[in-house]
Amino acid sequence: MAKLDEKIEEMYQEVLKRNPGETEFHQAVLEVLESLGPVVVKHPEYLERKIIERICEPERQIIFRVPWQNDKGKVQINRGFRVEFSSALGPYKGGLRFHPSVYLGIIKFLGFEQIFKNSLTGLPIGGGKGGSDFDPKGKTDDEVMRFCQSFMTELHRHLGEHTDVPAGDIGVGGREIGYMFGQYKRITNRYEPGVLTGKGLTWGGSLVRTEATGYGATFFVNEMLKARKDSFADKTCLVSGSGNVAIYTIEKIHQLGGKCIACSDSNGVILHEKGLDLDLIKQLKEVERRRISDYVAIHKEAKYIPNGNIWDIPCQVAMPSATQNEINGKDAANLVKNGCIAVGEGANMPTTPEGVKVFLDAKIAYGPGKAANAGGVATSALEMQQNAGRDSWTFEYTEKKLEDIMINIHRNCYETAEEYGAPGNYVLGANICGFIKVANAMVAHGLI
């Protein structure tokens, strides 16, 4: 762990004291604070106005009961969350996660990261995040619908196109957004597409939103490779997960000339040395909602490794796209030892602090999630623009906008890292660049 500036250390201790037990939130805060020492030296006004202390305290946190009935008529109770972290740059914006591991500490880590990520996109969006400990796995469509309706029955009163605009995340895709949008419309009697993003294409959605996070992360890695006079051509790649982000990361890697040989889920790893068959993965995951273990029934030469560790497989590019803390210090050391030259995080905070240190010390190209996976939320903001203008853009036009945004984010992080004397350190670049814009807006808005 880098040594914190003395004043910043005090702030971090206060965060620990005020938010006991929220370990993922502590980790996300520390990772940003470690970068801010040189910033407060240049900008003493941030200290005077307690900008850092204020940023670490969400503007509003909503926790609510979500009662629903399963197909057998049995009453179920889940817990719902929405953390509206910062509206300094625009309405709260960030996804909803449905996963049994969800609790306040996870939603706060995600919401905190979202503030800086959204700032990096250059678009007018604040930071927020929400979700529930509901597990959509193994539930019928009707059960998911009843849950989503109950969830939205409470959440709707906190949302609005100028207030708070959720999207998807783990366990929340097009199906869930559809049920939530339907319930919002019914309760409010308003057809308000700007209230949720990730909508279906015939009812206010944007082309490229489904692909955006994976495509964007791959564009970001492509820029890191270009900065090192390299490219994706013939690179062997690993992508963890097999959900939305993983699928479209694999697709863009293949389009850019790389070869992705492995992906995973929480049960195991698929290794296919000749290159993954993405059409089959899409069929299994997006159409039939099955597990990736079924992949080997079609491709006999591929291997399914139950409980395997994908990071043990040698590669040149690794793109973690499943969940937080999936790469620990040992995994990171393994990746570097096996010849990995670039890591781009499609997932949020997938690398532990020990792992991050390994990547930074090895000076490989390491793109942290808040920069590399910002393409998802950026395209959500493009969806909001289309909704506001009652317009819909072509795939090519929207994808080009996404690519330009990712190129810009890369350049800003790269140049900020150089300006602060840490060339090639995208962690520092992303944290400082994301923070300064939010901090300046907070100074301008006064003490609120």
Query: How many residues line the site for ligand NDP (CB under 6 A)?
Result: 22
Structure tokens at 79: 């817990």
Q: How far is the CB of 210 from ligand NDP (least distance, A)?
A: 9
Q: How do 303-306 and 236-239 pair as beta strands?
A: unpaired
By CB under 6 A, what part of segment 154-193 binds ligand NDP? 168-171
With binding defined as CB under 6 A, does residue 373 bind ligand NDP? Answer: yes
List helix spans (H) across 189-243: 209-227
Active site (annotated) includes residue 259: no
Q: How far is the CB of 150 from ligand NDP (least distance, A)?
A: 20
Indicate which residue of 93, 108, 129, 370 is catalytic. 129
Task: Round to whole Å and give the CA distance between 299 and 415.
Answer: 45
Q: Whole-number minimum distance, CB 367 to ligand NDP, in Å? A: 13
Residue 348 beta carbon to ligand NDP: minimum distance, rounded to whole angstroms: 4
Pair of tokens at residue 41: 């030296």
Query: Sign (positive/negative) of CA torsion 169, 91, 13, 79?
Result: negative
Taking the least distance from each CB to ligand NDP, the nearer of 183 and 379 is: 379
Q: What region, left, alpha or beta, does residue 349 occupy, with left being phi > 0 and alpha being psi -120 to 50 degrees?
A: left
Which position among 271, 347, 371, 409 is part of the footprint of ligand NDP (CB under 6 A)? 347
DSSP string, 257-309: T-EEEEEE-SSEEEE-TT---HHHHHIIIIIS---GGGHHHH-TTSEEEET--
> In the complex with ligand NDP, which residue's Cβ is closer, 88 or 322?
322
- Site membership for ligand NDP, residue 128 (CB under 6 A): no
Listed ranges 343-351, 382-390, 400-408, 413-421: which one lies at the site for ligand NDP (CB under 6 A) = 343-351
Q: Name the one residue in this structure whose structure tokens are 């997960």.
A: 241
Minimum CB separation of residue 400 from ligand NDP in Å reads 19
Show contacts with ligand NDP in window 267-326 (CB under 6 A).
267, 321-323
d(CA 431, CA 32) in angstroms, rounded, equals 6
Bridge partner list, 165: 93
The residue (of 265 and 277) whose beta carbon lies closer to ligand NDP is: 265
57 or 286: CB nearest ligand NDP: 286
Among 13, 140, 231, 266, binds ligand NDP (CB under 6 A): 266
Closest contact distance (angstroms) between CB of 313 and ligand NDP is 16
The interface with ligand NDP within residues 246-265 (CB under 6 A) comprises 246, 265
Residue 3 is classified by DSSP as P
Sheet of strand 365-367, all strands in order from the earlier edge strand to the far edge = 303-306, 268-271, 259-264, 236-239, 317-319, 342-344, 365-367
Binding to ligand NDP, residues 2-41 (CB under 6 A) = none
Q: Nearest residue to ligand NDP, using CB?
A: 243
Integer Cα distance of 272 and 252 in angstroms: 18
Q: Work out whether 242 is an interface residue with ligand NDP (CB under 6 A).
A: yes
What residues contact residue 448 under an 8 Å CB cut-off, 6+ apart?
A: none
Which positions are annotated as active-site residues?
Answer: 129
Binding site for ligand NDP (CB under 6 A): 168-171, 213, 241-246, 265-267, 321-323, 346-348, 373, 376
